[in-house]
Amino acid sequence: MLQRPIYLDCHATTPMDERVLEAMLPYFTQHFGNPSSISHMYGWEAEAAVKKARETIANTISCSPEEIVFTSGATEANNLAIKGVAEAYFNQGQHIITVQTEHRAVLDPCHYLEGLGFEVTLLRVKKDGLINLDDLEKAIRPETILVSVMAANNEIGVIQHLTEIGEICHNHQILFHSDAAQAIGKIPLDVQTMNLDLMSLTAHKVYGPKGIGALYVRRRNPRVRLAAQLHGGGQERGMRSGTLYTPQIVGLAKAIELGLEEIESEGKRQRELRDRLSNQLSQLEGIYFNGHPTQRLPGNLNVSFEKVDGSALLLGLQSLVAVSSGSACSSTATTPSHVLTALGHQDSLAYASLRFGLGRFTTSEEIDQVAQATLVTVQSLRQAIVDCRF
pLDDT tens across 223-277, in order?
999 999 999 999 988 899 999 999 999 999 999 999 999 999 999 999 999 999 9
- For the stretch 141-163, pLDDT in tens is 999 999 999 999 999 999 999 99
CATH number of 62's domain: 3.40.640.10
Q: What is the pTM of this model?
A: 0.95
Whether residue 102 lies inside any domain: the answer is yes
Mean pLDDT on 185-193: 97
- For the stretch 276-317, pLDDT in tens is 999 999 999 999 999 999 999 999 999 999 999 888 999 999
- For the stretch 320-366, pLDDT in tens is 999 998 655 554 556 889 999 999 999 989 999 999 999 999 999 99
Residues 173 and 272 in one domain: no
Residues 195 and 287 in one domain: no
Give the span between the Cα atoms of 14 and 52, in whole angstroms: 24
Residues 244 and 254 in one domain: yes
Residues 341 and 249 in one domain: no
Using a 10 angstrom Cβ sphere, with 0-12 exposed, 13-18 middle and 19 or more buried, the burial of residue 100 is middle
Residues 285 and 206 in one domain: no
Residues 180 and 270 in one domain: no
Whether residue 76 lies inside any domain: the answer is yes
Residues 29 and 73 in one domain: yes
CATH number of 305's domain: 3.90.1150.10
Mean pLDDT on 358-377: 97
pLDDT at 237: 87
Domain count, the chain: 2
Phi-psi domain of 245 (left: phi exceeds 0; alpha: psi -120 through 50; beta: other) = beta
Residues 79 and 206 in one domain: yes
Domain boundary among 261, 276, 296: 261
Whether residue 131 lies inside any domain: the answer is yes
Domain boundary among 208, 226, 261: 261
Whether residue 322 lies inside any domain: the answer is yes
- Domain range for 360 is 6-14+263-388
Annotated catalytic residues are: 329
**Closest listed residue to residue 348, CA positions, set 387, 308, 301, 388:** 308
Whether residue 1 lies inside any domain: the answer is no
**What's the number of CA atoms in the CB half-sphere (13 Å) around residue 211?**
7
Residues 313 and 350 in one domain: yes
Residues 171 and 74 in one domain: yes
Of 388 and 168, more confident: 168
Residues 234 and 297 in one domain: no
What is the full DSSP assignment across 195-226?
Answer: T-SEEEEESTTTTS-SS-EEEEE--SSSPPP-
Angle ∠(259,265,270) on CA atoms, nearest 5: 85
